[in-house]
Structure 1
Amino acid sequence: MKSQSFRFLMMGQSLANLGDVLYIVGLISILYEVSESPFILALFPFINMFGRFSSGVMAPLLLDQYRLKSLLVFSQVSKTIFLFFLLLMIMLQGVPHIIGVLAFVLVIAFLDGWALPASHSMLPRLVEKSELVKANSFFAVVNNTIQIGGWALGGVMVVLIGGQQVIWLTFVLFVLSILLLVKLVDPSPFHVEKVAGRVGKSIKEGWNTIWKNPLFRSIHVVIFFEALANVVWIASILLVFVSEILQESEAWWGYVNTSFFVGMVVGGVICSRFANSIELHLKKLLIIFSFGTSIVTLLFGFNTIAWFSLGFAVLNGIFDQIKGVAVNTYLQKGATAEELPKIYAAQGALIALVFGVSSLFFGGVAEILGVRIAFLISGLLLLVAAIYVAVHHHQFSESLLDKS
């Protein structure tokens, strides 16, 4: 992995993701001061994911017309501009209107919607196929290490200087990200396709590829259930869990988040260290860690001891990371360079839609039935996903990767 462009991609996206974490921490802090309602807090991820879904639907059209690098840079520049206007609104209003804040959240999420499929699809273009597990693991370790610092830094800075100043730091990180991403060099050839009826075909192409390929279809069934279930780990639900179940201060909200990302870093290191062995046992690992995330989520939800919650969060991060590396490796090795961006675009739209609707559902569950019931439902959904993987294990055969 000596590619300079891979390093620019990794560093640029990591800074952008760090900025996204600080942006979330700052806005949640501001919204919490205004509303103090779990449902209102859950509106933030709902609006965010609705914007990503809308963008994900349109992403295939852009992927047909523009280079991946151009989409990455344009997305980051546009996000930076609108973040600046959001900051101006917050400064001028003092106590911002919730609707105004959520409107900017929607626009920024829309602009961010095609960045994920573009960056994921570019990665296999910058490294050898034999290095994909290692590259995915390394990318994950660096990103999650930065996110650990982001949650810790964001939590401390919110207390010391307030949410508004934390969002200003996001603005600076976004600018730095742009400077790195413009240095990327995409070695793959690119041709604009101008065919009658291409618009409709482009929008459906990723979905059709997923549906017709047994491996891709099975992967996205699992992703669907996980998108439903993983809502309980969003910051707004965790904040309620820490307050009502663990009965600890907001500082423990940061500790739990940090523990989760520590687990993800450990999982990424494990994948990087044992990349060859993991590549040989992708199917087994996917099954084992699918059941593992279900069990850990249930244990976390029924636990009342704060220190134990940190251990469960670490385990969940490890299991989730290894499972994620396995899934990405399956997709990146099984799809062609032309198919991969469309698959990731469809995947992003699917996750955004399901996650957004689910965030409202779990926000309502947490407020009406209690946050512990929310974790119970989440654990059961993850169990369904794990059983699906076990029952359909033949569709995850490594022989399906020979397409690459």
Structure 2
Amino acid sequence: MKSSTITRPFYFLWTTQTAANAADVLYIMALTVLVLNQTESLVSAAFTPLMRSGAQILSGLIAPLMVNRFKLPALLFLSQTGQFLLFVCLAVYLQLNENDSSLVLVFALIFIMSFLDGWTVPTRNALVPRLVAHEQGLLKANSLISVSDQVVQFAGWGMSGVIVAWLGAGNALLLTAVIYGIAAALTLGIKEPAEVASVHRQTEALPEKNTTAPLSSKWHTLTEGWIMIWRIPRLRLLTLMELIDMLGGSVWVGAFTLAFVQTALGQSEKWWGFINAAYFAGTVSGGLLVLALARSIGSRYLAAMLIGMAGYSILTVFYSLNTQPVIALILALLMGPFAELSIVNRRTLIQRSVAQERLPNVLSAQASLLHLTFCISLLLMALLAELFGIVNLYLFASGLTLLALGVGLIGYRSFPNETAPGAASD
């Protein structure tokens, strides 16, 4: 088998996650319209993404128990099928009671769906190393996933707005239910290799798991990922870098980019759309670039990640100090490839920093941390924008990326040969 081989089950995983992400974008748009029409309150509409993040934080905390009980493909199927069934209930309820629907019930269903959704990303990222072969295959697989994620974000919001306006919010929700159903059905094609399943059966049969008292065993399962992040130097370093970077990452949320366009560039919402499109186009091209450079990058993931962070940070400084809209457009386009170079290689490093059977617990712990950090970042960046202005906000975000870069350079010795502990040699 060639080192760059990507298996058929991976393509099922890639397709189901792309469909699920597209459904997420469409349903958030449709629900936002419904909530705004019913309440005429921006606070109520803003509550939806905040509640989703809260549910996903809680979900990540208990995900290790689910991973310990179910195989990863089965857990993904459970998550996607549960979301599909709940969404059918939500869509039918809103279709029958669009103007008189109970927001308490609607938000309760959203919370449960988001809770189930909290298992999908760590499960997906833990499955990827099991479904591809060796070095370049893993980097290429992560690049493909990143490209599809960005395409959905880039095209999804614009297309979902058109779909909601054309079909109406209620019918758009029914369409979303169909897409969720397709995503759930596609998970049936995700099969772990026989040798991987054998390793997990042996892991489950370890004496300490059978002799430990039930309560302490569950506590060990819940905390294992957190303990590994703390005890393994490279995992601790990568997690710290990602958290620092995430604190500044919310500056690309729509409200902040709109404020920058209006205040710093003196342009209308039209240029806001142009710059958003340029940034996402840059991230898509960046994912494709990493895919093309997989052979050249080889196993130099850390160096590639640090180059991406450095380029992204420098371009953000120029972007924040610039006042010309055309130059801002070019800079936003150029930021994308550097951002993807950093993100894809960091994800690959994390996947290779721990043995595969322990990876889901580590990724679940990291997911909870990142969701919490993003919520904090939104509140912090809003406060800083009010106090110091939108230009200084982008400079501050660039400084955070530089700080994360500095942490990576200081901890470079944690990556002597970038080989996962406990992983099989190539």
TM-score exceeds 0.5? yes
Native 8 Å contact 2:302 2:346 kept in 1:
no
- For 1:26 and 1:204, how far apart are their aligned partners in 2? 37
Structure 1 partner of 2:144? 138
Q: Distance in 1 between matches of 2:309 and 2:247?
A: 14
Aligned residues: 403
- Which residue is equivalent to 1:340? 359
Residues in 2 aligned to 1:394 and 1:148: alpha-carbon distance in whole angstroms: 37
Alignment correspondent of 1:57: 61
Q: Check whether the contact 2:354–2:421 (CA below 8 A) recurs between aligned residues.
A: no
Which of 214, 218, 221 aligns to 2:233? It is 214
Please tell me whether residue 67 in structure 1 is matched to residue 86 in structure 2. no
Say if 2:13 and 2:187, in contact at 8 Å, map to a contact too: yes
Contact 2:36/2:45 (<8 A) preserved: yes
Alignment of 1:356-395 (within 5 A): 356-366=375-385, 370-395=389-414
Residues 165, 93 of structure 1: CA spacing in aligned structure 2 closer, same or farther, 3 A cutoff? closer
Which residue type is aligned with residue 82 of structure 1?
L
CA distance in 2, matches of 1:43, 1:368: 24
Q: For the residues of structure 2 that align with 1:146 and 1:320, how far apart are their CA atoms?
A: 17
AA partner of residue 269 (structure 1): L
| Cα deviation, residue 383, structure 1 | 2.2
- Residue 339 of structure 1 and its aligned partner are, at CA, apart by 1.4
Q: Distance in 1 between matches of 2:365 and 2:75?
A: 16
SS state at 2:184 partner:
helix
Query: Residue deviations 1:131-178, cap 9 Å, x none?
Result: 211221223223433443313312433454555554443322211111
* Equivalent residues of 2:6, 2:131 under 8 A apart: no
Q: Does 1:112 align with 2:117?
A: yes
Distance verdict in 2 for CA 1:304–1:340, change over 3 Å: same
Larger Rg: 2
TM-score using structure 1 length: 0.88
Give the 3 Å change call, closer, same or farther, for CA 96–8 of structure 1 in structure 2.
same
State the Cα distance separating 1:45 from its structure 2 match: 3.4
SS in 1 for 2:298: helix
Please give the secondary structure, in 2, of the residue aligned with 1:334: coil
My pick for the range that moved more, 297-306 or 62-71, is: 297-306
Q: Which residue of 2 aligns with 1:224?
A: 243
Aligned mate of 2:185, from 158, 179, 183: 179
1:263 partner letter: G
- Residues 89 and 117 (structure 1 numbering): CA distance in 2 closer, same or farther, change over 3 Å? same
* CA distance in 2: counterparts of 1:252 and 1:164, whole angstroms: 31
Q: How does 1:71-110 map to 2 (within 5 A)?
A: 71-88=75-92, 90-91=94-95, 92-94=97-99, 102-110=107-115
Q: How has the CA–CA distance of structure 1 residues 198 and 236 changed in structure 2, closer, same or farther, with 3 Å as cutoff?
A: farther
Higher mean C-alpha displacement, 171-180 vs 239-248 = 239-248
Task: Give structure 1 stretches of 5+ with no counterpart.
Answer: none
CA drift at 1:42: 5.2
Which blocks of at least 5 consecutive residues in structure 2 are unaligned? none
**CA deviation digits over 1:364-391, x for unaligned, max 9?**
4456765444433322222221221122
Opposite residue 74 of structure 1, the aligned amino acid is L
Conservation of the 8 A alpha-carbon contact between 2:12 and 2:190: yes
- Residues of 1 paired with 2:317 and 2:52: CA distance? 27
How far residue 330 of structure 1 moved from its aligned partner, in angstroms, is: 1.2
Instruction: Give the deviation of 1:3 after TM superposition.
Output: 1.9
Q: Is the 8 A contact 1:45 1:359 kept in 2?
A: no
Give the number of the structure with larger relative contact order, counting CA–CA contacts within 8 Å between residues 6 or more apart. Answer: 1
The amino acid of 2:56's aligned partner reads R
Q: 1:224 to 1:82 in 2, by over 3 A?
A: same
Range with bigger deviation, 386-395 or 219-228: 386-395
Matched, 1:286 2:305: yes
Q: Distance in 2 between matches of 1:386 and 1:361?
A: 21
The RMSD of aligned alpha carbons is: 2.9
Q: Distance in 2 between matches of 1:231 and 1:295?
A: 17
